[in-house]
Amino acid sequence: MEPLTRDWLSAIGEDPEREGLARTPHRVAKAWAYMTEGYGQTLAEVVGEGVFAAEGSEMVIVKDIEFYSMCEHHMLPFYGRAHVAYIPNKQILGLSKFARILDLYSRRLQVQERITTQVADAIEELLEPKGVAVLMEGIHLCMAMRGVQKQNSSTTTSAMRGLFRSDPRTRAEFMSAVQGTLRSR
């Protein structure tokens, strides 16, 4: 990453040797290693021992999980919040693991739609629940900083599985629980 970043600086018309940029290739390499850490991890690793036997079958909702990712079309950031819900069948997941799963799929080049689907798939695979819902809202800097320049627009994506898809009341309960929390920031 370091020699590539020096070439990149030259390509945009910068002088990679000037003082302010001297350590930039090193910092960029470190930052990108972190932001793309998801490539080197597996679902099993991030979940670890986080799956437990269920004691009930009430809907579990984890709201306002922050995510930061990089769009695969422009390699620019998009970020926002996700809400995840599921209805347990036989197993539940430790609450901190939802953020870990979101990071696993966010820390790589992505599109928001795919992260949403991957998080839903991961929870289905881990827990075989009666239903899963994932709702994500993101601000895409490739839209805000360039091109159409719609600074205030955000993109919402969702994945509904099982009861969240087949039962309108279950879906409505989830949507009303998370409504307003995304837009209010």
Q: Which helix (H) or strand (E) holds 171?
A: helix 168-178
Q: Catalytic site residue 73?
A: yes
How many residues touch Zn ion (CB under 5 A)? 4
What is the total residue count of the chain?
185
Q: How many CB atoms lie within 10 A of CB 123?
A: 25
- The response to whether 142 counts as a known ligand-binding position is yes
Helix, strand, coil percentages for the chain (3-state, nearest 5)? 45, 25, 30
Minimum CB separation from Zn ion for residue 144, in Å? 10
Q: Is 114 in the site for Zn ion (CB under 5 A)?
A: no
Would you call 71 a catalytic residue per the annotation?
yes
Whether 137 contacts 180, CB under 8 Å:
no
Binding to Zn ion in span 115-174, by CB under 5 A: 142
71 is in an annotated binding site: yes
Binding positions for Zn ion, 7-66, rule CB under 5 A: none
Instruction: Report which residue's Cβ sits closest to Zn ion.
Output: 142
- Shortest reach from residue 78's CB to Zn ion, in Å: 7
Say if residue 116 is exposed, middle or buried (CB neighbours under 10 Å; 0-12, 13-18, 19+).
Answer: buried
Q: For Zn ion, which is the closer residue by CB, 142 or 175?
A: 142
Chain residues binding Zn ion by CB under 5 A are: 71, 73-74, 142
Known binding-site residues equal 71, 74, 142
